[in-house]
Every structure is written in structure tokens, then in C-alpha cells.
């Protein structure tokens, strides 16, 4: 797992969310070379990832949580293709 996107990744908004007709697991939506992709998030989740009324957590916010609470978020991150 990593917090650094692969070369050429363009996000469609940088929130990690779980609302999609394609996949209900938390993910970051984007594209690589014009192809749509959902990059799955693994590990500790937040309520904001599942409830849009709470405000989804931005990619950088979750990375900051990992830095601030390393024991809680130690096995968290995105699995890039």
C-alpha cells in the first residue's frame, strides 16, 4: 500500500469515498491514460468515507491522520494497480 499515486494518475476529486455503482468499498476515483479507475483504500476508515453529509475525507487528510495516529492507521493506504 502507498500514499503516493502512480505516474499519470489524475484524480476525479481527491476524496476517499464509498459511494459508487461500481464499488461500495472506500476508494479514490480517477483515471490513468484516459481509463477510469477506482483505487481501493484499505485499513482504518472514517465515517466521512461512508456518509457524504459528514464530508468525505480528502486524500491528504487521511495521510495526515496516518502521520498523527500511526498505530491506528499503520496498515492503511491505497493499493495502486
User: What's the angle, vertex CA 5, arms to CA 70 and CA 60, rounded to 5?
Assistant: 45
Closest CA to 38 of 24, 55, 54: 24
Q: What cell does 27 get?
A: 476508494
State the cell numbers at 66: 496516518
Domain boundaries, the chain: 9-76
Mean pLDDT estimate for the chain = 82
pTM of the model: 0.76
pLDDT tens-digit series, residues 22-80: 668 888 888 888 888 888 889 888 888 887 787 767 888 888 888 899 999 888 888 87
For 72, the grid coordinates are 491506528
Amino acid at each position: 500500500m502507498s500514499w503516493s499515486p502512480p505516474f499519470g494518475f489524475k484524480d476525479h476529486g481527491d476524496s476517499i469515498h464509498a459511494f459508487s455503482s461500481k464499488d461500495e468499498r472506500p476508494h479514490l476515483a480517477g483515471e490513468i491514460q484516459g481509463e477510469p479507475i477506482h483505487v481501493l483504500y484499505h485499513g482504518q476508515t472514517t465515517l466521512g468515507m461512508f456518509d457524504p453529509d459528514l464530508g468525505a475525507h480528502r486524500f491528504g487528510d487521511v495521510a495526515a491522520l496516518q502521520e498523527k495516529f500511526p498505530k491506528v492507521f499503520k496498515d492503511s493506504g491505497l493499493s495502486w494497480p
